[in-house]
Amino acid sequence: MGIVVENPGILTTVQDEGRFGYQQFGVSPAGPMDTQSFYLANILVGNKRSEGVLEMTFQGPTLRFEKDIIVAITGGDLKATLNGEPAPMYQAFLVHAGDVLSFGMISGNGRIGYLAFAGGLDIPLVMGSKSTLMRNNLGGVHGRKLEKGDVIGFANPKTELPNMELRKLEPEVFPKNEITLRVVTGPQDSEFTEKELKRFFWYGAEITNEFDRMGCRLKREEPVQHKGDGNIISDGIAFGSIQVPSNGQPIIMLADRQSTGGYTKIGTVIAVDLPKLAQSVPGYKVRFIRVGIELAQNLYIRRLQQFKSLEKQLGQR
């Protein structure tokens, strides 16, 4: 056995790295909203970075453990407690059978938390992934968010890991009130005048309440103006694509995005900045900075190198 869900929280799902290779068939990748926190959680418990975890949004679950296992919590601070006492963040620690791990509401530092289990979760693969895609009822636990009474087993539970004393990081402090996102323009930036492109980067926007795993709708005082009507022949959508529909109010597409779309895309938020957006809440201001694809790729490679360095330090590879 593994864990029993005594309280599911607001939105708790199983997510691994994602379901790739199926967008051509209308199936989106899903996967973690905050890839940085997701990868770190798995590294701390000695898993492959791609292993399935629990992603918890706004309010986390209450879980009763039926077997000993090492776990780690990363991402937004959801006020985790173990048997009523504060549980550590960004640190691998041992949980025993009978223990109860509870999460509360967001505390002002982020909004999404991750819980990784040493050895992984016993969740069947659907199209090569454990990730929950709720709108298609795929993956995870019956293709939905967790519910009270759900039981999830452990794949290969571990109670010992090398270098346990080193499996501790400084908790992430997420930006508050305003975030800055770097953007590579395209592929339909030609549908906007150069003046309008400059206005897009000069003026900020605000995150609205229409913000979920599919996308984040922004509000601008001055809508973005197209050369035409803002419609295109539908094409593929990437994580971070910024669609601009005919009303001129941008939408940043996220983990559960639709596979294709027919609105112009003015640019794409670079991968290393997406966690900042994922950990933001409605009302935050957003500023955009225009960067080139070479910088975006170099920053991504640097992040991968940091992960590999941490894994080597912990004796995992």
With respect to residue 296, please indicate whether it lies within any of the assigned structural domains.
yes
Are 132 and 255 found together in one domain? no
Tell me the pLDDT band of 261, cut-offs 50, 70 and 90. confident
71-85, 220-234, 251-265, 302-316: the lowest-pLDDT one: 220-234
Residue at which a domain ends, from 121, 145, 166: 166
Are 140 and 235 found together in one domain? no
Are 34 and 144 found together in one domain? yes
Are 152 and 225 found together in one domain? no
Are 126 and 187 found together in one domain? no
Please tell me the predicted confidence (pLDDT) of residue 317: 56
In whole angstroms, give the CA distance from residue 257 to residue 255: 6
Q: What is the pLDDT of residues 80-112, one digit of tens each?
A: 999 999 999 999 999 999 999 999 999 889 999
Is residue 53 over pLDDT 70? yes
Mean pLDDT, residues 163-192: 94
With respect to residue 171, please indicate whether it lies within any of the assigned structural domains.
no
Are 144 and 277 found together in one domain? no
Percent of the chain with pLDDT over 70: 99
Please tell me the predicted confidence (pLDDT) of residue 211: 97
**Mean pLDDT score across all residues of the chain:** 95
Q: Which domain holds residue 125?
A: 2-166
Please tell me the predicted confidence (pLDDT) of residue 161: 95
Which residue in 203, 186, 181 sits closest to 278, CA to CA?
A: 181
With respect to residue 42, please indicate whether it lies within any of the assigned structural domains.
yes
Are 208 and 293 found together in one domain? yes
In whole angstroms, give the CA distance from residue 203 to residue 222: 8
With respect to residue 103, please indicate whether it lies within any of the assigned structural domains.
yes
Q: What is the pLDDT of residues 19-40, one digit of tens each?
A: 999 988 889 999 999 999 999 9
Q: What is the pLDDT of residues 143-170, one digit of tens each?
A: 999 999 999 999 999 999 999 999 999 9
With respect to residue 315, please indicate whether it lies within any of the assigned structural domains.
no
The CATH number assigned to the domain holding 183 equals: 2.40.100.10
Are 132 and 234 found together in one domain? no
Are 145 and 286 found together in one domain? no
Query: Into how many domains does the chain fold?
Result: 2
Mean pLDDT, residues 247-251: 95
Please tell me the predicted confidence (pLDDT) of residue 229: 84
In whole angstroms, give the CA distance from residue 60 to residue 99: 16
In whole angstroms, give the CA distance from residue 143 to residue 140: 5
Is residue 316 over pLDDT 90? no
For residue 213, what are its two tokens? 């795993």
3-class SS of residue 273: helix
In whole angstroms, give the CA distance from residue 254 to residue 261: 13
With respect to residue 307, please indicate whether it lies within any of the assigned structural domains.
no
Are 141 and 238 found together in one domain? no
Within 10 A of 62 (CB to CB), how many other CB atoms are there?
17
Residue at which a domain ends, from 107, 131, 166: 166
Please tell me the predicted confidence (pLDDT) of residue 259: 87
Find tokens 């929950």 and name the residue. Answer: 132
Residue at which a domain ends, from 138, 166, 194: 166
In whole angstroms, give the CA distance from residue 285 to residue 110: 15
With respect to residue 130, please indicate whether it lies within any of the assigned structural domains.
yes
With respect to residue 268, please indicate whether it lies within any of the assigned structural domains.
yes
CB-based contact 118:152 (threshold 8 Å): no
Q: What is the pLDDT of residues 263-308, one digit of tens each?
A: 999 999 999 999 999 999 999 999 999 999 999 999 999 999 999 9
Are 135 and 256 found together in one domain? no
Is residue 231 over pLDDT 90? no
Are 151 and 193 found together in one domain? no
